């Protein structure tokens, strides 16, 4: 095998299902979002069928404090909320998940992501925009759906939930982290023996879920290239000393691709940073985001070149991909 680092995993998951891993993880980013509208159960089912190791859940709260699976705190770029609830628009022109109850959200149709001003698809070659017949799911519904697929297929896929904007939610009077942890525990995800990574962009919240809320599972600190949400200490946290400090609170980091690899100019070789090496020295996992066939990093010549740079040259432990099948196919070809 030509991969620079092979990772061994064993999780003893829900109902005794064993999840074993002997290669870098492939996380289905918002499900099979390269092929179906993101975060729908259809996208999760297809990602599971394609062989994803983990399925991602971005989580926000409804007006009645139900955890639902959506990427944004807004509804207006992936649903028909503007048509069905035009009176819910805030002064900033946006429609917020937090302003609708679960019963109201269930009346919406989820579509392929589109630009809010033009209505054009963000990724024109993906699933056609418009009425898909798909709907928003609660976190409970999705976890039960995944566990059902695990049972019926005999192949265990883990979960990779993200708590979205917890500080913003609390400022609005809602404690999203507390709600999410209750749902995870109710569905059998509570310890490091369970096939679950809990992720967040806010390091303060990851500390809180450990110390105040008692989370005992695995956690990942997400980076957006500017260490957003790191309380103004982002640059320090990405030093060798800072990464050692992070290891006291989290099991790994989730950087943007550009923090690991870049192509300075057309035709140039990939340039790999030392972030992965430093993170590994601190015993932190590295799961960067996001591989997209239709949105490669600037000057990257191909998705195969991206896979090679990430897995062979940088030595990452896993990756988020919109195209689970392509990433898995590359990994299998190198075994």
What is the per-residue DSSP string for 108-122?
--B-S-B-TTT--BS
Tokens representing 156 are 């265990």
Reduce the DSSP state of residue 3 to 3 states and report it.
coil
- At 272, which helix (H) or strand (E)? strand 271-272
> Would you call 29 a catalytic residue per the annotation?
yes
Q: Which residue among the candidates 71, 169, 174, 307 is catalytic per the annotation? A: 71
Please state the length of the chain: 335
* CB proximity list for 197: less than 8 A, separation 6 or greater: 54, 158, 159, 160, 161, 217, 218, 219, 220, 251, 252, 287
Exactly one of 29, 39, 169, 174 is catalytic; name it.
Answer: 29
Residue pointed to by tokens 């790999």: 272
Establish whether 280 is a catalytic residue.
no
Q: Which residues contact 96 (CB under 8 A, 6 or more apart)?
A: 73, 74, 75, 88, 90
DSSP 154-196: S---EEEEEE--HHHHHHTT--HHHHHHHHHHHTT--BTTSSB
Residue positions annotated with a catalytic role: 29, 71
């Amino acid at each position: 095998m030509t991969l620079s680092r092979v990772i061994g995993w064993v999780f003893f998951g829900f109902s005794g299902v064993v999840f074993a891993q002997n290669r870098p993880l492939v996380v289905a980013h918002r499900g099979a979002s390269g092929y179906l509208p993101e975060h729908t159960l259809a996208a999760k089912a297809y990602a599971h069928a394609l062989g994803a190791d983990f399925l991602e859940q971005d989580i926000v709260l409804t007006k009645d404090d139900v955890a639902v699976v959506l990427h944004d705190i807004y509804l207006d770029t992936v649903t028909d909320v503007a048509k069905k609830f035009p009176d819910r628009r805030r002064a900033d022109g946006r429609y917020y998940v937090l302003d609708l109850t679960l019963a109201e959200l269930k009346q919406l149709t989820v579509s392929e992501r589109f630009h809010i001003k033009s209505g054009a698809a963000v990724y024109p070659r993906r699933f056609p925009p418009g009425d898909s017949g798909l709907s928003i799911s609660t976190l409970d519904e999705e976890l039960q759906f995944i566990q059902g697929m695990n049972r019926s297929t005999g192949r265990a896929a883990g979960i990779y939930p993200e708590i979205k904007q917890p500080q913003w939610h609390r400022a609005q009077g809602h404690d999203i982290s507390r709600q999410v942890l209750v749902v995870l525990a109710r569905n059998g995800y509570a310890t490091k023996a369970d096939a679950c990574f809990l992720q967040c962009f806010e390091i303060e919240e990851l500390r809180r879920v450990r110390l105040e809320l008692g989370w005992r599972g695995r956690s990942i600190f997400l980076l957006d290239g500017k260490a957003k949400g790191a309380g103004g200490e982002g640059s320090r946290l990405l030093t060798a000393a800072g990464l050692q400090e992070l290891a006291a609170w989290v099991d790994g980091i989730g950087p943007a691709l550009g923090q690991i690899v870049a192509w300075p100019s057309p035709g140039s070789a990939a340039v790999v940073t030392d972030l992965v090496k430093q993170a590994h020295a601190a015993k932190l996992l590295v799961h960067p985001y996001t591989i997209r066939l239709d949105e490669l990093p600037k000057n990257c010549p191909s998705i195969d070149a991206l896979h090679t740079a990430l897995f062979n040259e940088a030595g990452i432990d896993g990756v988020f991909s919109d195209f689970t099948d392509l990433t898995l196919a590359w990994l299998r070809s190198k075994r």
